[in-house]
Structure 1
Amino acid sequence: MSVSSIEKFTVNRILNLLCNKLEFVAILLFFIGFFDANIFEWRDRFNTASYGILLFLIILRWKRFIYVATRDISLLLLIGVLLISYFWSAAPEFTLDESKSVVRAIFFGIYLAAQYNPKELMQLFLRMFGIAIIINLIFTGFVVAIGQPYIAISQANNEPSWQGFLTHKQYLGRMMMHAAILFLLSSFSHKRFRWLTWIGFSLSIILLFLSKSKTSWVGFIVGLTLLPILKFTRWHYKIRTIMYVFVVLIAGSIAVLIFGNLEIIVVDILRKPPDFNGRFDIWQLAIEAALKRPLLGYGFAGFWTSNEGLLIVEHTWAASTVGTTNRFHSHNGFIDTILQVGLIGFSLFIFNFFAAVKRVINLIHLTQTIESFWMLEFLILSFLLQVSETLTLISFHTICSIYVSIVLSTIIWQNRLKANVVKFAESISE
């Protein structure tokens, strides 16, 4: 090899290394920023710069990006409904503004699926959540040290609740719930650095506790109850099927028990009024409003700024919580989805979600890998938390980006496995 060739190789290697480092920094910024970070005054600057950074990343791998983005028709249709909802939106200016943020989060998810395989994705998110834990601790310690603890620690129900660098304790709780499950699953497969994963798990549990997010705790417990599925996949098919049915029966019995004694549980255990702090009234009025425009809804981000939405706010307890800078929501992701994109958009989302769950379950049986099981955990927990969450899975949030990356990664993974089976069959026939 000539001197010039060696120099060219060295330069290319340095450039690739630099691009990889910059890419990691960009992904970290998106991961934290899309979680609705509240680190002093950085949010507006980040939102402005994020579009350019993401566009640059996509251009570098535009062919792969387009290929991956077109693997799921139902997701493309859902994005299309979301965007064209501008034309029937009750608040088109809000739809235009916020739909751009959602597309940004979705494109970030597509980019992740295009750039990383499932195992690499799990490792990437493991590092992202780990860094987020450290930043939360450092940021909270810093604002306490400078005498401004209210920036990171809010007061809810006369008790301090950590929110860290995020805008709400529920966001911190949700982040730490997913982090705890991810670190726990990672400890099953990483023997060399198992001590590090247990540290991450312990810190995420501590922050989950400090957030005082009860819904996130419920989600974490549900995540633990799914762990036996890891054992079922290693058994014979018939036994596995029986065990799945058994688990479903137990889960159904528990659900009936909980909902049959809902008022006692809510009042005595969760220490909340039986109407979930007035949410039932909000849900009833929101559903009645949705029935007025059932097919297409009020447009993305269009309902709670419309006359119908403001009327609900004015005549319920929500009037005392909504100011000039924050918008109300139904505290139910399913209802908000129907309000925004109607039954058509909601049906596309439900189809897309359960198709992804079916793929993940098939992949668990075929590969018996931790990353496939983590995907199932994430999908189920994110879906269940929609009952009382402020954000839907299709939103401008990091959870949306992770969801999209899982949906598309499972398609590519499954297609590769099928291709390998075909090649193996052809080799045998020859």
Structure 2
Amino acid sequence: MKAGSIPPASIPATGDIAGSRVGAVLFVVVFIYCWVSVNPFENLQSPPANAAALNQVTGFLLTIALFIYAAANGLTSMILRPRSLILLLFGWLAMTSLMSVEPLVALRRLFFTGLICACASLLLVLPKSREQFTKLVGLSALVILGASYLGVFLIPGRAVHQAYDLVEPGLAGDWRGVFNHKNGAAPAMVILCFFGLYVMRASTSAARGAIVVLSLVFLWMTNGKTALGMFPLVLVLAFFLVRTPVFGALLLGATLAATSTITLGSALSPEIHKFIADLGFDPTFTARTDIWSLALKAVEEQPVFGYGFGSFWGSDMLLNSADADDTWAVEASHAHNGFIEALLSGGVPAFVLTVLWLVVLPLRDIAAAKARRADPALTALFTRIWVYCVLSALLESNFFAGTGAVWVSLLIGVFGLRQQARNYLVVENEKAG
């Protein structure tokens, strides 16, 4: 038995029970559902079909299955850790949602998001050992990649952006695979590459490099410049975080601060806007600055309670406001920034609790994992995923996003790092004691 992560050795017979076919099948099904949801290969040539109800029902049923499995195998103590902080955050968001313009809609969205969080927290304790985790995550990645490639070559109208798409016909030729947009496919491929790098390190399979190659090729074909540019930066930051956590934390903090200053600063400061333009970059960040300006103004008006979970964008309050005549940004569907989205949903308290859970605690867990000599390959995997998702949240609303590759992977990274810092890893070729 070695120091590491999943599952905890303190649970009797977990290694044997969680290695059953039921546990393995649950892992693959839940993983793929959380990444792809119930509507892959969406038809972009017609108005989008509303699959939210089916998606939520499916998530609810899978969560029940996971809870039953966890209860039968003594895994319920692993749900949503650290539980006090998470429950406090969701409790606050529930309270602000009750004060929103559509409280029932906001609470339903929050409930579904909570289900996905619970699923992700249990996902990592289903495999019986590190070896089985490696096999299952590799299989899940190959299924997603295989489906995406088959879509590109067999049904390109549903897996590649087309010139006759209703929205953004300029993206014609960019691959999207099972995802509904290249901006969903590109970050998914980056994260799949991280899984592939882990499988290469932890497995002896002859095909262990396939995930890395397939995901990088697909990433290139998505034409996702931001995701592609962030990939090497994340590898560097994760390298330092795993080996020298204090220096790595300072480096990551500086990167987050600098990026926030450049992005949000371009929306708030004409000087920064001009400076970025003079460097030859798009100072609007693909028109995001208009959205950020509108969102930050709204935060100033309701800084404590916000507007309720997912209740700001698209609301009658916003569409009928004075800003509706001044900026197109009122038609945006989200803030394109996960931290701002937290402020809009629950004000400063939600923002602080979100940062504590998703940024501060993982930094502490990385340091603890190194101190207790947890499995370095798993720590590197979870750290890379976590760093990428946190950085990408500066440009997209990845936090509390329900299903989707980035949000679910962020949860896997956060919960995985906590496991690395606190529990023990079953290794098949080593005997306990």
**TM-score scaled by structure 2?**
0.75
Farther off after superposition, 24-33 or 51-60: 24-33
Q: In the alignment, does 2:356 pair up with 1:357?
A: no
Rounded to whole Å, the distance in 2 between the matches of 1:350 and 1:107 is 19
Whether the aligned pair in 1 keeps the contact of 2:245 and 2:367 (CA below 8 Å) is no
Q: In the alignment, does 2:144 pair up with 1:132?
A: yes
Q: Taking structure 1 as reference, are residues 84 and 38 closer, same or farther at Cα in structure 2, changes over 3 Å only?
A: farther
Q: 2:414 maps to what in 1? A: 407
Q: 1:300 maps to what in 2? A: 309
Q: 2:108 maps to what in 1? A: 97
**Secondary structure at the residue paired with 1:294?**
coil
1:183 to 193, 196, 216: 196
- How is 1:279-294 mapped onto 2 (pairs within 5 angstroms)? 279-294=288-303
Deviation at 1:97, TM superposition (A): 2.9
Rounded to whole Å, the distance in 2 between the matches of 1:178 and 1:110 is 18
What whole-Å deviation, never above 9, does each CA across 1:161-207 have from its counterpart, x for those lacking one? 211121111110010011112212432343x22x5232211111111
Rounded to whole Å, the distance in 1 between the matches of 2:85 and 2:111 is 19
What whole-Å deviation, never above 9, does each CA across 1:28-56 have from its counterpart, x for those lacking one? 44234349634567945454333123212
1:141 to 148, 153, 158: 153
**Secondary structure at the residue paired with 2:180?**
coil
Q: 1:309 maps to what in 2? A: 318
Q: Taking structure 1 as reference, are residues 131 and 263 closer, same or farther at Cα in structure 2, changes over 3 Å only?
A: farther
Whether the aligned pair in 2 keeps the contact of 1:393 and 1:399 (CA below 8 Å) is no
Provide structure 2 residue ranges, at least 5 long, that are not aligned to the other structure: 1-15, 44-48, 264-270, 425-432
Provide structure 1 residue ranges, at least 5 long, that are not aligned to the other structure: 1-12, 234-239, 418-426
What whole-Å deviation, never above 9, does each CA across 1:347-389 have from its counterpart, x for those lacking one? 1111112112220233135235111011111111100001111
Q: In the alignment, does 2:203 pair up with 1:199?
A: no
Question: Partner amino acid for 1:106?
Answer: C
Whether the aligned pair in 2 keeps the contact of 1:300 and 1:340 (CA below 8 Å) is yes
**Secondary structure at the residue paired with 2:174?**
strand
- How is 1:235-384 mapped onto 2 (pairs within 5 angstroms)? 272=282, 274-310=283-319, 311=321, 312=323, 315-318=326-329, 322=331, 328-353=333-358, 354-365=360-371, 366-367=373-374, 369-384=376-391
Q: 2:394 maps to what in 1? A: 387
Rounded to whole Å, the distance in 1 between the matches of 2:50 and 2:120 is 22
Q: 1:9 maps to what in 2? A: none
**RMSD (CA atoms):** 3.8
Q: Taking structure 1 as reference, are residues 314 and 247 closer, same or farther at Cα in structure 2, changes over 3 Å only?
A: same
Q: Taking structure 1 as reference, are residues 376 and 117 closer, same or farther at Cα in structure 2, changes over 3 Å only?
A: farther
Q: 1:115 maps to what in 2? A: 126
Identity %: 17
Q: 2:89 maps to what in 1? A: 78
Rounded to whole Å, the distance in 2 between the matches of 1:161 and 1:403 is 25
Q: Taking structure 1 as reference, are residues 300 and 267 closer, same or farther at Cα in structure 2, changes over 3 Å only?
A: farther
Q: Taking structure 1 as reference, are residues 340 and 143 closer, same or farther at Cα in structure 2, changes over 3 Å only?
A: same
Farther off after superposition, 210-219 or 304-313: 304-313
2:77 to 67, 70, 74: 67
Whether the aligned pair in 2 keeps the contact of 1:360 and 1:373 (CA below 8 Å) is no
Rounded to whole Å, the distance in 1 between the matches of 2:32 and 2:113 is 16
Deviation at 1:107, TM superposition (A): 1.6
Rounded to whole Å, the distance in 2 between the matches of 1:69 and 1:409 is 12
Q: 1:237 maps to what in 2? A: none
Q: Taking structure 1 as reference, are residues 349 and 263 closer, same or farther at Cα in structure 2, changes over 3 Å only?
A: same
Structure with more helix by fraction: 1
Farther off after superposition, 59-68 or 254-263: 254-263
Rounded to whole Å, the distance in 2 between the matches of 1:393 and 1:218 is 24
Whether the aligned pair in 2 keeps the contact of 1:35 and 1:398 (CA below 8 Å) is no
Whether the aligned pair in 1 keeps the contact of 2:245 and 2:363 (CA below 8 Å) is no
Rounded to whole Å, the distance in 2 between the matches of 1:375 and 1:90 is 38
Q: 1:218 maps to what in 2? A: 229
Question: Partner amino acid for 1:131?
Answer: V
Rounded to whole Å, the distance in 2 between the matches of 1:71 and 1:218 is 32
Deviation at 1:344, TM superposition (A): 0.7
Whether the aligned pair in 1 keeps the contact of 2:375 and 2:420 (CA below 8 Å) is no
What whole-Å deviation, never above 9, does each CA across 1:178-237 have from its counterpart, x for those lacking one? 1112212432343x22x523221111111111111222112212123236438x83xxxx
Rounded to whole Å, the distance in 2 between the matches of 1:395 and 1:349 is 15
Question: Partner amino acid for 2:368?
Answer: N
Question: Partner amino acid for 1:136?
Answer: S
**Secondary structure at the residue paired with 2:105?**
helix
Deviation at 1:291, TM superposition (A): 1.5
Rounded to whole Å, the distance in 2 between the matches of 1:275 and 1:289 is 19
**Secondary structure at the residue paired with 1:196?**
coil
Question: Partner amino acid for 1:31?
Answer: C
